[in-house]
Structure 1
Amino acid sequence: MSKRKIRMGMVGGGRGAFIGGVHRMAAALDGQVELVCGAFSSNPERSRLSGEDFYLPTERVYGSYAEMIEKEKQLPLGERMDFVSIVTPNHVHYGPAKMALQNGFHVVCDKPLCFNMEEAEELVALVEETGLIFALTHNYTGYPMVKQARAMIEAGELGDIRKVVVEYPQGWLSTKLEDTEQKQADWRTDPSRSGIAGAMGDIGTHAENLAEYITGLEITELCADLTAFVPGRQLDDDGNVLLRFNNGAKGILHASQISAGEENDLNIRVYGTKGGFHWRQMEPNTLLVKWLDKPVEVRRTGVGDLYPTATAHTRIPAGHPEGYLEAFANIYRNFAHCVQARLAGETPDPLLMDFPGVKDGLRGMKFIEKVVASSNSKEKWTKF
């Protein structure tokens, strides 16, 4: 079979949504994916109007994800969608993901994976049972210098890892924004849609995923202190977590949405026996590498002798900033490459098989569960 564009159906992401537009831009960036259908809202009329915005045929715009999956399955391969992209609030991840997998469709899902651990474990089992490809959009793993940092640790350049400090401060929920009918604040602070955690579920999972991805280590125990600082808010808007890793390393994870004045300053510092490094999402093309016995090195995207995985995820010549959308697009590009290889009966390029999957989602859901349990416990230290 000759290779072709991979055909995407979207659940959510219609008019008024934020992350749906990010997914569509990221998916389209490399010309490997095309949007062919969608159920863009739980409101059928809003879904229809959103389909018009995207210039889709009326018959490929659906009133529900169930209708979309059922009708798309009846179309011939190459005309029907190849995968479902799920860009809804947390409580609407599990249903479409499960139905898509049960009907033979690959899945891209926004994070966190779903609403609770029971749903997460069922999705992991379904992916293993079906053998379908599942990507989770922990997009910060897509940055070239994050890939470089991971490769340096894998190669032993930093020695044995001892200390991990990962932070994700934001300030946008410093006031009770959810009372103003702001859509993004409304669902993120609602336990019936967000789940048992607020800031820790929304951005703390990004910090957890980044720490485990870069270091290759796993959290084994944690001690958490979560707070809802804004009066009347039902879920945490700030959290501090002590971490213990499986190699004996210790860590600190801090995630906050009431750090007034902060924008989106996800950053990580990792220290080993030979040296350390510092990476910031707001300056993503720079990796500061610090050594015991020589000056600080400034590693830059596209410059010098980088590891192949960093080079494979670099798109443009040095000095041209690559950012959030490009990192997001790297996940879609790699996912599409693997789906294309599957359709063609070929083996994917190992460098392009690097994207977060359903088991990373399970780790994230476990992190949420254990952080909340630890914060509520008098014992504090909780096995991961």
Structure 2
Amino acid sequence: MGMVGGGRDAFIGAVHRMAANLDGQIELVAGAFSSDPEKSRLSGEDLFLDPSRVYGSYEEMAAKEAALPEEERIDFVSIVTPNHMHFPVAKCFLEAGFHVVCDKPMTFDVEEAVMLKEIVEKSGKVFALTHNYTGYPMVKEARQLVKSGKLGKILKIVAEYPQGWLIKNIDAEGQKQAAWRTDPTKAGASSCIGDIGTHAENLGRYITGLELEAVCAEFTSFVPGRKLEDDGNILVRYKGGAKGVLYASQVSVGEENSLTIRVYGEKASLEWKQEYPNDLLMKYPEAPRELLRRGNPYLSEEANKFSRIPAGHPEAFIEAFANIYLEAARAIRDAVEGVSVGGPYDFPTVDDGVEGMRFIQTAVNSAKAEAWTRFER
């Protein structure tokens, strides 16, 4: 594996490296870890990499890695840069013949997302998008319960992702992670919804399979001077008649990463909280609530396939990320060995990336118009 971005002081790059390495199937051997060549070099030293495979730019990395013998070059690249660099880096490596794992949101805007889908399809390469919350075993159990009809027809989805870390103007003070996320030239048209609201939307779609029809969004920038929203509230209409409420905020004081989803059907409902990821709560109209726990034999094969340790030992954020990498590695291995790429693999794809970018843009358009806005495909 090679990596673009994720050098010194980067949060998500370290998470990707830990996740990729967890199952012993992926080794980091190369990288362009910063747009600053010296910082990239120092980051390579931190990671004990061969200096000859630590590059000053992603363009140099793609060209030199492609020139190596097939058995020596990287099999894929992991892209962990700010949003505005996802498309050019992915395009460069796909066209150089490499598979790609990319952090979300997939691109800077919808136009880039559509172009990237065309490039992926033309290349024939594996493209995985790290909507990491789909990697949790109990999220996979929730999906299987919906598929099996346990909930009946889905009536309502309520997904929320409140954080509180941007209640102060730390972006203006130069805090790196805050600064780029609230900068429209790097984050895109949305901050809060683009950063974490897209996780809530993706989670609802992954669990239920329902597609958006229209949204009515309200965006607010509570912190004076902030150019993009730090709070978003969205009403949702799904194809088939289901309704939804999606709320994301980075100024909800006291909240950490409280991603929660509730799915209500005609026969039952379910609730999953990211901060308590090993539990899945089922609710019934005329029966006691039922608490399902990760790692138990009564769960579906899909949920237990993605568990590593016995019940009662917590699995969480890194393991969920690792499940995305594990499935992407399986697809890449099949591609390298000449097996038809097509699965079934359980990871978010370029199609999920396009849907996510269209969701962000539709929400932005709705907030500006202060009106219901149809989701255009």
TM category, shorter: over 0.9
Aligned equivalents of 1:306, 1:234: Cα separation in 2: 45
Aligned equivalents of 1:381, 1:120: Cα separation in 2: 20
Aligned equivalents of 1:86, 1:348: Cα separation in 2: 21
What's the counterpart of residue 368 of structure 2?
376
Where 1:177 maps in the other structure, the secondary structure is coil
- TM, length-normalised to structure 2: 0.98
Q: How far has the Cα of 1:340 moved from its partner?
A: 1.1
What's the counterpart of residue 82 of structure 1?
75
Q: Which consecutive residues of structure 2, in runs of 5 or more, have no partner in the other structure? A: none
Aligned equivalents of 2:8, 2:266: Cα separation in 1: 51
The match for 2:55 among 52, 55, 62 is 62
Show CA shifts across 1:164-212 (max 9, x none).
Answer: 0000000000111112211000100100100000101000110110010
Counterparts in 2 of 1:1-384, with a 5 A limit?
A: 8-346=1-339, 353-384=345-376
Q: How far has the Cα of 1:381 moved from its partner?
A: 3.6
Where 1:231 maps in the other structure, the secondary structure is coil
What's the counterpart of residue 3 of structure 1?
none
Q: Which consecutive residues of structure 1, in runs of 5 or more, have no partner in the other structure? A: 1-7
What is the aligned length?
376
- TM, length-normalised to structure 1: 0.96
Aligned equivalents of 2:263, 2:244: Cα separation in 1: 9
Where 1:33 maps in the other structure, the secondary structure is coil
Q: How far has the Cα of 1:362 moved from its partner?
A: 0.6
Aligned equivalents of 1:27, 1:210: Cα separation in 2: 21
Aligned equivalents of 1:173, 1:26: Cα separation in 2: 26
Aligned equivalents of 2:371, 2:218: Cα separation in 1: 12
Q: CA RMSD in A?
A: 1.2
Counterpart residue type for residue 348 of structure 2: P
Aligned equivalents of 1:127, 1:134: Cα separation in 2: 7
Aligned equivalents of 2:375, 2:290: Cα separation in 1: 37
Task: Note closer, same or farther for the CA distance 1:278–1:131 as it changes in structure 2 (3 Å cut).
Answer: same
Q: How far has the Cα of 1:345 moved from its partner?
A: 2.8
Where 1:180 maps in the other structure, the secondary structure is coil
Aligned equivalents of 2:47, 2:204: Cα separation in 1: 37
Aligned equivalents of 2:141, 2:373: Cα separation in 1: 32
Whether the 8 Å contact between 2:359 and 2:375 is mirrored in structure 1 is no
Whether the 8 Å contact between 2:278 and 2:294 is mirrored in structure 1 is yes
Aligned equivalents of 1:375, 1:348: Cα separation in 2: 39
Task: Note closer, same or farther for the CA distance 1:186–1:45 as it changes in structure 2 (3 Å cut).
Answer: same
